[in-house]
Amino acid sequence: MSAASPEPWPGARSGAQPAVPPPAPIAVSVPATGADTARRIAAAMAPLRPALVLLFGMPAEGLPALGAALRELLGEGCRVVGCSSVGEIGPAGYCARTVTALGFPSASFRVGVCVLRDQALVPVSEWMATLRRFHADFRPDLRRSSFGVLLADALARQEDVLTATLDAAIPGLPIVGGSSAEGMRFEPTCQMVDGTAHPGAALFLLVETDLAAAEVSFSHFSPTDRRAVVTAADRHNRVITELNGEPAAQEYARLAGIPVEALTPTEFARHPLLLRTGRRHHVRAIRAITPEGGLQLLSGIEAGNILTLGRAMDMTRGFAEALDALPRPPLMVLGFDCVLRRLALERAGMDGQMSELLARYRVAGFNTYGEQHSGMHVNQTFVGMALMPPEPG
């Protein structure tokens, strides 16, 4: 893993732009166990007079304490929102055991924060009413770019319903996000707003900006000719108990050509299961083997689903191609990258190469247990919102 940089990177301004471009966001990473974390982050953010600071990581003092300290240092005009993570993406690319902070200047950003409580209980009607009221009260300026950011609780296992609810409540709004849990042990996450923890909640941010915004996504898999039917599943717990009428882990191992005893999270990352929706295949990532020999997934699954074994392609070239296709170089890409992609890159010895690309394209965010975009919950995918200078004229 590449080391985190303690210095903020400024948004580079490349290409044709207005005479006075809107202020760009910045990112900074500091050690999670370092002293005076709040003051170091605040010193980087204060010149922006930020409307929003996003925090990703597990600081020694805890996210609520860090959020409260930053709120005091930066003033009540700045919203401070964050979640714990399994890894961060900072100015130098992939980093670990850091707190990565993203600052969005008030001169070019406006933000609203909505707490969607009781994610595990799926109170869809309540969420729908809350979101519609929140959106109406926000009163978006149609002359500016708008997008949503979703920080979900991975342990609640309800992101599929959550993303569908958001898509229905605020149709047409591009939304990106990630599911968080603490560390590789998949321990309970901390979701924080302005120094207050919100256990079991999902956090939704509505962002409006003078910058241009474009959604990006990248998955490095193609389908093979090896398929399986989910013949039995525990839908609520996202567990496949049988594939093709056989114990799920045993049949998956046969399809992948790997002994059952050799299956690890890294092997799951290299050989994902794909579910076709429309014309696209989406990853249904495997988190673990259950004691009964089932497959615990990170996305929803049902009996009758037809799954295809995936084949890994180049994990970096397609990423660069996706970002090079943007109309202008990004000032920042708010990014959510699956931790299983990171594990696969580390196993292949390509994590340094990927970190260089993340730094080059100014990606900042965190590694996730699931990603949200286009009204869907997916896995083993990079999703992000690219923020660019406005179109000239």
Nearest residue to 101 via CA among 43, 23, 179, 14: 43
Question: Which pLDDT value is given to residue 19?
Answer: 59
221-312, what's its fold? Elongation Factor Tu (Ef-tu); domain 3 (2.40.30)
pTM, 2 dp: 0.85
pLDDT digits (tens, 9 = 90+) for 173-229: 999 999 998 877 778 889 999 999 999 999 999 999 999 999 999 887 888 999 999
- From residue 313, alpha-carbon distances to 24, 287, 347 in Å are 34, 21, 14
- To the nearest whole number, what is the mean pLDDT of the chain? 91
Place of tokens 């909505």: 114
Residue 127 has pLDDT above 70, yes or no: yes
Question: Which pLDDT value is given to residue 149?
Answer: 98
Domain ranges of the chain: 26-218+316-388, 221-312
356 CB-near residues (< 8 Å, 6+ apart): 93
Question: Which pLDDT value is given to residue 12?
Answer: 38
Distance CA 225, CA 228 (A): 10
Q: Average pLDDT, stretch 244-254? A: 96
Burial class (CB in 10 A: 0-12, 13-18, 19+), 51: buried
Question: Which pLDDT value is given to residue 393?
Answer: 64
Residue 245 has pLDDT above 80, yes or no: yes
Residue 101 has pLDDT above 60, yes or no: yes
The pLDDT-based confidence of 347 (bands split at 50, 70, 90) is confident
Question: Which pLDDT value is given to residue 10?
Answer: 42
> Is pLDDT larger for residue 340 or for residue 261?
261
Residue 3 has pLDDT above 90, yes or no: no
Residues forming beta bridges with residue 335, ordered by sequence position: 365, 384
pLDDT digits (tens, 9 = 90+) for 281-329: 888 889 899 999 999 998 889 999 999 998 877 788 889 989 999 999 9
Q: What is the DSSP string of 177-209?
A: EEEE-BTTTTBPP-EEETTEE-TT-EEEEEEEE
